[in-house]
């Protein structure tokens, strides 16, 4: 396993991040434990979760599963860089969501309890809160850091100008600011290349792509259908929108002799500012198969052909102006 610093920080994280969103809804607790143990054996030390995962309001099911795994001991907590998120609604009462100082305090304490730990390595805003000013956001995060409850702060789904505004406010307060941005980024979704990636790189944030395989569209969907695998209706609708691109992409992967899922992840690892794509295995076999990604080196010719299939963006303003 290769390790890199997360953004401008001194924190070392694996080049693949284990996403836990399937733990509970799709993957049993026992299987989730097995996947997390195997991730450690493979050298993955970076895990991502959120207080809303599990999708039963207020319960934090996925965080609870991770917490019970930590409680098994064996240095599971010490070997894990755990990132969790807040913003989504955890109740029906006012201030049970978003990024007010009140919710930040309550949400952090609740996540710590569910995770059965006394600190969170990276505490992430799951979305921008347009109703809360950044001076309030940073004051609340500063208090948590002073209390030893969090070490770093990250963002998710921020625009480039949100990152700039957050970092300038943090700088004014002499605070370290954001260390990471978790963005929707894959071969089919490249809008972040316009301003989010340049902002993250300039301000020293590591980028953590979510949905790196576009919900499975980049994971060899045509191959699977040809082999008789069924696909959900929403997947089939998306496939029809992008069929030409997916056909050309899977043909290129055949030429390379690699699985489309592995090529899609490897492509992300070749992009500037990207620290670690979030992988979300539902089974141990999916986790182990993903390790092939780290061995794939795409040359300039292969990268150029991928860009022909899935045109990307130059940084703004050159993408749309001179």
From CA 254, how far away is CA 15, in angstroms rounded? 25
Residue 283 is predicted with a pLDDT of: 92
Per-residue pLDDT of the chain (322 residues; tens, 9 = 90+): 999 999 999 999 999 999 999 999 999 999 999 999 999 999 999 999 999 999 999 999 999 999 999 999 999 999 999 999 999 999 999 999 999 999 999 999 999 999 999 999 999 999 999 999 999 999 999 999 999 999 999 999 999 999 999 999 999 999 999 999 999 999 999 999 999 999 999 999 999 999 999 999 999 999 888 877 777 788 888 899 999 999 999 999 999 999 999 999 999 999 989 999 999 999 999 999 999 999 999 999 999 999 999 999 999 999 999 9
Q: How many domains does the chain have?
A: 1
Give 246's DSSP letter. Answer: H
Residue 134 is predicted with a pLDDT of: 98
Do the domain assignments include residue 251?
no
Minimal CA–CA distance to 170: which of 148, 154, 150, 186?
154
Do the domain assignments include residue 45?
yes
Give 274's DSSP letter. Answer: B
Q: In terms of residue numbers, what domain contains 171?
A: 3-216+259-309
Does the annotation count 119 as an active-site position?
no
pTM: 0.96
Do the domain assignments include residue 236?
no
Residue 230 is predicted with a pLDDT of: 72
Do the domain assignments include residue 224?
no
Query: Per the residue annotation, which of 3, 53, 87, 203 is the catalytic one?
Result: 53
Q: How many CB atoms are located within 10 Å of the residue 271 CB?
A: 17
Do the domain assignments include residue 184?
yes
Residue 167 is predicted with a pLDDT of: 98
Do the domain assignments include residue 111?
yes
Do the domain assignments include residue 240?
no
Domain with residue 136: its CATH number is 3.20.20.100
From CA 77, how far away is CA 82, in angstroms rounded? 8
Do the domain assignments include residue 265?
yes
Residue 245 is predicted with a pLDDT of: 96
From CA 261, how far away is CA 250, in angstroms rounded? 10
Minimal CA–CA distance to 125: which of 93, 95, 94, 162?
162
Locus of tokens 């006394």: 118
Give 88's DSSP letter. Answer: S
Q: How many CB atoms are located within 10 Å of the residue 184 CB?
A: 17
Residue 234 is predicted with a pLDDT of: 84
């Amino acid at each position: 396993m290769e390790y890199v610093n997360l953004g401008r920080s001194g924190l070392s994280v694996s080049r693949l991040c284990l996403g836990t969103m399937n733990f509970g809804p799709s993957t049993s607790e026992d299987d989730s434990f097995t996947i997390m143990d195997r991730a450690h054996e493979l050298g993955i030390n970076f895990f991502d979760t959120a207080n809303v995962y599990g999708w039963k309001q207020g319960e934090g099911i996925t965080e609870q599963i991770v917490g019970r795994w930590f409680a098994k001991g064996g240095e599971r907590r010490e070997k894990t860089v755990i990132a969790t998120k807040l913003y989504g609604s955890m109740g029906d009462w006012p201030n049970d969501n978003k990024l007010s100082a009140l919710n930040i305090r309550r949400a952090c304490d609740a996540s710590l309890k569910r995770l059965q730990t006394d600190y969170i390595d990276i505490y992430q805003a799951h979305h921008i809160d347009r109703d809360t000013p950044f001076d309030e956001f940073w004051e609340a995060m500063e208090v948590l850091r002073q209390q030893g409850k969090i070490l770093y702060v990250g963002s998710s789904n921020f625009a480039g100008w949100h990152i700039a505004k957050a970092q300038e406010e943090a700088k004014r307060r002499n605070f370290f600011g954001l260390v990471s941005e978790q963005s929707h980024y894959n071969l089919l979704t490249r809008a972040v290349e316009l301003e989010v990636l340049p902002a993250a790189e300039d301000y020293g944030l590591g980028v953590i792509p979510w949905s790196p395989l576009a919900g499975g569209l980049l994971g060899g969907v045509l191959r699977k259908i040809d082999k008789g695998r069924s696909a959900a209706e929403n997947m089939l609708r998306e496939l029809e929108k992008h069929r030409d691109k997916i056909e050309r992409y899977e043909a290129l992967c055949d030429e390379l002799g690699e699985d489309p899922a592995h090529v899609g992840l490897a492509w992300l690892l070749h992009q500037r500012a990207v620290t670690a794509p979030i992988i979300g295995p539902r089974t141990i076999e999916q986790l182990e198969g993903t390790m092939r990604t780290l061995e794939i080196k795409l040359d300039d010719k292969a990268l150029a052909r991928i860009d022909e299939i899935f045109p990307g963006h130059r940084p703004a303003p050159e993408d749309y102006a001179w």
